[in-house]
Structure 1
């Protein structure tokens, strides 16, 4: 497992950046570098359910372990979803279970610093690096237009 760090400085408000991160349409735009037409669904409750899915219904099931909107959210990955069915216990799930995906927004020198910290199995390092690098560029572009 690797811990990957990504960050960018954005000239916008935390509220606008938060909206870009989690709004249905803009989420699909910035996550296109992972999978086209990605879907994000959550109940926004600590301990509740969050889904990161592709259009076919495959992806990850997670929970929110920390939330301070619009400045912080930490997702703890629980398992996988295949054909809209959750799997929490399997050999495949073991490599993802317990890994975190963290988003932090802090104000600094007239900008908002968006920092993402992701735990990832080694074999997904390149995909995560490309996806988050390009995704954060898209978030910056979208947020600075608002």
Structure 2
């Protein structure tokens, strides 16, 4: 049997390793980057990420003129490190992920087929890697979002209810049931925004209070993360969120208050916050308007 040529490709991604791995191995992400040109897309993807698990990515020209399934079987999977698989024509592929100081390096090696030139195949596979890079890095960029709600209650009352420990738990349950905070809403103080996991271990965000004027405004700046009770303020995972702000403004007029929320989030969670923040604010509105 003729030995197939091995083609090696590399790409550097400025994103946390967990995000890179998730983008590479999750069907919801794969459909957004797995194509070599803008004339093509990947409308469907399914995979079972384990040794012996199968995958199938449907590749199609946007004009409907061509389509095929890129499919095969995983041979070995080491989370956050390496994936080996073979295609349905028997060719082997391996992908390695390595965390560097300020980026993740991906090295991909594949056996070339004989019906197209090696250079053409190299260009096509590299183009997909570049799409992956652009897409994944976009998920780690901060986006500033704005939300507001009008509440039939005085600003000072809304301020106190929004930040009081018990009622804070109620309206933030929209994000994560059981959410709470530790610390004081005073300038210079450290706050811990916590969402306990199934085992009750504390994980969440660490922030510093930068603004606090009762009845008018409160704001925080993210410093790091709380990982199972351990404060982490350095590393690739932290750089993504560090410096993000969250701010609540309270504007009173005719005994009603408009709460204006400004929040920074990475692209990965943008759609989630756009859906969930309005729900949380409606819960807050109900609490404030029914509290006497």
Which category describes the TM-score, using the shorter chain as reference length?
Answer: over 0.9
Q: Name the counterpart of 1:116.
A: 261
- Give the equivalent residue in structure 1 for 2:252: 107
Partners of 2:182 and 2:163 in 1: CA distance = 9
Task: Give the drift of 1:53.
Answer: 0.3
Tell me which moved more, 78-87 or 10-19.
10-19
Q: Map 1:20-99 to 2 at 5 A.
A: 20-55=161-196, 56-99=201-244
- State the 4+ residue runs in structure 1 displaced beyond 2 angstroms: none
Q: For each residue in 1:25-69, what CA deviation from the matched residue of structure 2 results, as whole angstroms up to 9, or x when unmatched? A: 211111111111101122233222001001231000000111111
> How many residues are aligned here?
146
Q: By how many angstroms is 1:109 displaced?
A: 4.2
Q: Which has the higher contact order (CA 8 A, sep 6+)?
A: 1
Pair member with larger Rg: 2
Which segments of 5 or more consecutive residues in structure 1 lack a partner in the other structure?
Answer: none
Please tell me whether the aligned partners of residues 80 and 88 of structure 1 are also in contact (alpha carbons under 8 angstroms): yes
Aligned-partner Cα distance in 1 for 2:250–2:185: 17
Q: Structure 2 unaligned runs (5+)?
A: 1-141
Instruction: Return the alpha-carbon distance in structure 2 between the equivalents of residues 16 and 97 of structure 1.
Output: 31
User: TM-score normalized by structure 2?
Assistant: 0.48
Distance in 2 between residues matched to 1:6 and 1:75, nearest whole Å: 16
Following superposition, the deviation at residue 15 of structure 1 comes to 2.2
Instruction: Kindly report the root-mean-square deviation, in angstroms, between the aligned alpha carbons of the 2 structures.
Output: 1.2
SS of the residue 1:118 aligns to:
strand
Q: TM-score, normalised by structure 1?
A: 0.94
Match of 1:3 among 129, 137, 144: 144
Does the 8 Å contact 2:149/2:285 carry over to 1? yes
Pick which of 54-63 and 126-135 moved more: 126-135
